[in-house]
Amino acid sequence: MINIEGVSKRFGSNIILDGIDLRIAPGEVVSILGPSGSGKSTLIRCINGLEKLDGGTISVDGHRVDDPKGLQLARRCSGTVFQLFNLYPHMTALQNVTLAPIEVLKMPRARAEQAARELLASVGLGERAGLYPSQLSGGQRQRIGICRALAMQPRYLLLDEVTSALDPEMTAEVLAILGKLARSGTTMLFVTHEIEFAREISDRIVFLDGGRLLADLPAAQFFAPDGGLAQPRIAQFLSKMNKS
Ligand SMILES: Nc1ncnc2c1ncn2[C@@H]1O[C@H](COP(=O)(O)OP(=O)(O)O)[C@@H](O)[C@H]1O
Ligand SMILES: [Mg+2]
């Protein structure tokens, strides 16, 4: 379980996260929607221990991220994929995926490579294992980024706008993979602007605005006129997104 309790974060005098409470249980898919600048990425970075909390606590499977020992253990539990492809440019797809299992998990190379080949095949890139990031499309790189996270066998997959830099065709490729993962029971915390997709795959939808959590509802209820849509801020956001 990822347990976020009363979390606040400031940058200077700006309050970026303002008392966030959120729990993600194993097997759940939770999407985070919200306007740009609402604090979505900051929340993901707090879960990773990349930002220090100013208040509240976050624990991942009981490991507190504000404690150095706890953070190390917490990071083992979750894999993160960010918006920009942060693959190592001097390594092939296969090497990018096997690096952490070999270095961190001390997995024998042959086993790591076999697992990586299976992962790459599962995202349709079995034939591309030997290519470098510069030889691959954005959608292919992002699928490798997902494989790299999955290679560490995380209990939780954190995804921060992983399709925002992609054109519609590549977005569809990546969403297809994420849909498959969601249906196979992968626990996911999914920051996205793909509203329709979020509606399809999520157990719950969370709405952030100005660092506050305005809604945390089952997906169907989030989109219901007497549910999330009853909140003017959410209705306004969704109608704007539908027009764009
Ligand atoms: N390192 C930082 N220093 C100062 N302000 C920051 C920093 N990172 C993010 N912010 C501010 O925090 C707010 C939330 O940012 P972010 O979490 O990236 O929002 P989102 O991902 O929802 O678009 C924004 O106003 C942003 O400018
Ligand atoms: Mg962001």
For residue 86, the model assigns a pLDDT of 83
Residue closest by Cα to atom 10 of ligand 1 = 11
Distance 181 CA to ligand 1 centre (A): 29
Of the candidate CATH numbers 2.60.40.10, 3.40.50.2300, 3.40.50.300, 3.90.10.10, the domain formed by 2-86+155-243 belongs to 3.40.50.300
Q: Which helix (H) or strand (E) holds 138?
A: helix 138-150
Q: Other C-beta atoms within 10 Å of 122: how many?
A: 16
- Give the separation between CA 103 and CA 97, rounded to whole angstroms: 11
Domain-wise residue ranges, the chain = 2-86+155-243
Contact 123, 146 (CB under 8 A): yes
Atom of ligand 1 nearest to the CA of 42: 17
- Tracing tokens 């249906």 back to the chain, one arrives at 183
Task: Report helix, strand or coil for 25.
Answer: coil
What pLDDT digit, counting tens, does each position of 82-139 carry? Answer: 887 689 999 999 999 999 999 999 999 999 999 999 999 999 999 999 999 999 999 9
Q: Is the CB of 13 under 6 A from ligand 1?
A: no
What pLDDT digit, counting tens, does each position of 45-82 carry? Answer: 999 999 999 999 999 999 999 999 999 999 999 999 98
Residue closest by Cα to atom 12 of ligand 1 = 16
Amino acid residing at 131: L
For residue 155, the model assigns a pLDDT of 93
